[in-house]
Amino acid sequence: MDTLLSAFRDFLRELLKEFLPEILANSKPDEKAEQSAYTREQFCKAHGNISLSSWRKMRREGWAPDIMLFGTQHMVSRESAQKWRRDREAEAKSDAAILEHERLVAHGKIIGAKAAASPLHVSKRGKRRKKAKEKR
């Protein structure tokens, strides 16, 4: 039974390798697949599950997407969402963002080394148990 399943799995894998590039080439996403306008909740979910507090922070600091009103409904247009994404990408590629990322990585390495050197680190749990047993 095990060999039959592995043979079937291999067959499917080869079949997918053969046909998947053709299927993916034919199914290119177009602009019509994106919504015309988003509510706040839809925008936040579509752009990486942005939390409500992060949304409010974006609005407060002035880097949220532009809002339009439909009656009492606040909406984010497709164009505004695209502009917001382009701005975020450009911001992430800026020199300041790259320097900040490098600083955070270096800081993480320092903190990680200090944590690993601590006698309470999880990697030293077995040694602590041995010492506790010896004291008994």
Beta strands in the chain (DSSP E): 37-38, 68-70, 73-77
Q: Please name every residue paired with 68 in a beta bridge, in sequence order, or none if there are none.
A: 75
Q: Please name every residue paired with 77 in a beta bridge, in sequence order, or none if there are none.
A: 37
- pLDDT reported for residue 130: 74
Structurally, the chain folds into a number of domains equal to 3
87 and 100 inside one domain: no
106 and 132 inside one domain: yes
- Show the domain range for 24: 2-31
- pLDDT reported for residue 20: 73
Predicted model pTM: 0.55
DSSP string across 52-102 = HHHHHHHHHHT-SPP-EEETTEEEEEHHHHHHHHHHHHHHHTSHHHHHHHH
57 and 21 inside one domain: no
Average pLDDT per 10 consecutive residues for the chain, totaling 136 residues: 77 76 61 77 92 94 93 91 93 92 96 92 79 74
From CA 133, how far away is CA 136, in angstroms rounded? Answer: 5
38 and 78 inside one domain: yes
